[in-house]
Chain A
Amino acid sequence: EVQLVESGGGLVQPGRSLKLSCAASGFTFSNYYMAWVRQAPKKGLEWVATISTSGSRTYYPDSVKGRFTISRDNAKSSLYLQMNSLKSEDTATYYCARHGWEYWGQGVMVTVSS
């Protein structure tokens, strides 16, 4: 059974950093592109980042480019999202997802507030 389990969320002050993790199991992690998608409270879905199988290629929308970094450790079947210079508008539930979009984690809440 495919499982994606996010962790690392919480309350953080504006301008600070936070790192999210996603533990994957039930499939060969290194064979798949992976992504982060977020959802602000009561809002729609927004793609945040994608990483290639080896980690050599990463993709971001302009809203997070230069502040967020997606990475992976294939040996640990883990996906990460390093979030720097956080803003109040980054407040959201962050989902880890496998490309193909069939599998999503349960989400982890990030609140950026002073």
Chain B
Amino acid sequence: DVVLTQTPSILSATIGQSVSISCRSSQSLLDSDGNTYLYWFLQRPGQSPQRLIYLVSNLGSGVPNRFSGSGSGTDFTLKISGVEAEDLGVYYCMQATHAPFTFGSGTKLEIK
């Protein structure tokens, strides 16, 4: 199974600060169809996961443009350019290139 290693596990940020979360895969997520099925989600306390980024770098509908995704192959990054209070929660990366689909262990964003 593909293992996604997310770092850091906990992130403490002030409002307005820019932060990054890393997601490293145990194998390449480039699919034979040319797509890389790497997603980023935010799960706010008590809520369902919300998709932020799809296919590595595409911003989800209605997602603020302070969120951005980058990377290729096995190394991926989610960046938040100017954290806002509503961004607190747990961030997960997920791969859907290889079955079984797998998630990273999560990064908890705390607001100082």
List residues of chain A with CB under 8 Å of any chain B CB. 37, 44-47, 50, 59-62, 95, 100-102, 104-107
Residues of A within 8 A of B100 (CB): 47, 59-62
Mark B81-106 against chain A: 1 for CB-CB distance below 8 A, else 0. 00000000000101010011111111
The answer, among A45, A95, A102, for a CB contact under 8 Å with B103, is A45
List residues of chain B with CB under 8 Å of any chain A CB. 1, 39, 41, 43, 48-51, 54, 60-61, 92, 94, 96, 99-106
A101 (CB) vs chain B CBs: closest residue? B51
Residues of B within 8 A of A61 (CB): 1, 100
A62 (CB) vs chain B CBs: closest residue? B100
Residues of B within 8 A of A106 (CB): 48
From A46, A59, A104, name the one whose CB has the most chain B CB atoms within 10 angstroms.
A104
Contact indicator A102/B94 (Cβ below 8 Å): no
Task: List the count of A-B residue pairs having beta carbons below 8 Å apart.
Answer: 46
The answer, among B49, B51, B54, B99, for a CB contact under 8 Å with A59, is B99
Contact indicator B51/A102 (Cβ below 8 Å): yes
Contact indicator A101/B48 (Cβ below 8 Å): no
How distant is the Cα of A39 from the Cα of B94 in the complex, in angstroms? 14
Q: Given the interface contacts A101-B39, A102-B60, A102-B61, does A44 sit within 8 Å of B105 by beta carbon?
A: yes
Q: Whole-angstrom distance from the CB of A9 to the nearest CB of chain B?
A: 14
Contact indicator B94/A46 (Cβ below 8 Å): no
